[in-house]
């Protein structure tokens, strides 16, 4: 016959850390006009959301060359220019289009749900 123990004596279940990416609500889409960009702070750094004729794009807000904030740069079409040394990145892929940067920007999936922009971030960035 099984022995009954009070609940306080049973071992506690430990929840594993969240390791899967998840969607985060950022701001209403109506607040970001086409041709504009907006930086959003997260625990792991800033994410830059760009709205172009091609749609929404989300990427790191820090230049891979000299750590400048890209939201202070210029967005022209799908080309994002760094304000410090004029490195140019493609907002869709994060690829370097013109130096001095040599490493691509990290990009993130982005979507709109019920009129609100959401970005899918890795667990460490949430």
User: If 0-12 CB within 10 Å is exposed, 13-18 middle and 19+ buried, where does residue 108 land?
Assistant: buried
pLDDT surpassing 50 at residue 18? no
- The Cα 113–Cα 50 span in angstroms is 17
Instruction: State yes or no: pLDDT of 55 exceeds 50.
Output: yes
User: How far is residue 94's CA from residue 60's CA, in Å, rounded to a whole number?
Assistant: 9
Is 57 or 13 the better-scoring residue by pLDDT? Answer: 57
Question: Cα(94)–Cα(117) distance, rounded to whole angstroms?
Answer: 19
> The whole model's pTM is what?
0.80
In degrees and rounded to multiples of 5, residue 103 shows phi and psi of -105, 140
Instruction: Write the pLDDT tens digit of every residue in 57-68.
Output: 999 999 999 888
């Amino acid at each position: 016959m099984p022995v009954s123990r009070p609940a306080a004596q049973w071992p506690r279940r430990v929840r594993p850390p969240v390791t899967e990416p998840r969607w985060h609500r950022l701001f209403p889409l109506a607040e970001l006009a086409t041709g504009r960009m907006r930086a959003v702070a997260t625990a792991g750094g800033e994410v830059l959301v760009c709205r172009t004729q091609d749609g929404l794009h989300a990427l790191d807000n820090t230049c891979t060359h000299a750590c400048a904030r890209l939201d202070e740069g210029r967005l022209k079409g799908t080309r994002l220019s760094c304000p410090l040394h004029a490195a140019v990145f493609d907002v869709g892929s994060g690829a370097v289009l013109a130096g001095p940067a040599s490493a691509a920007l990290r990009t993130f999936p982005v979507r709109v749900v019920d009129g609100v922009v959401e970005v899918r971030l890795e667990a460490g960035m949430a």
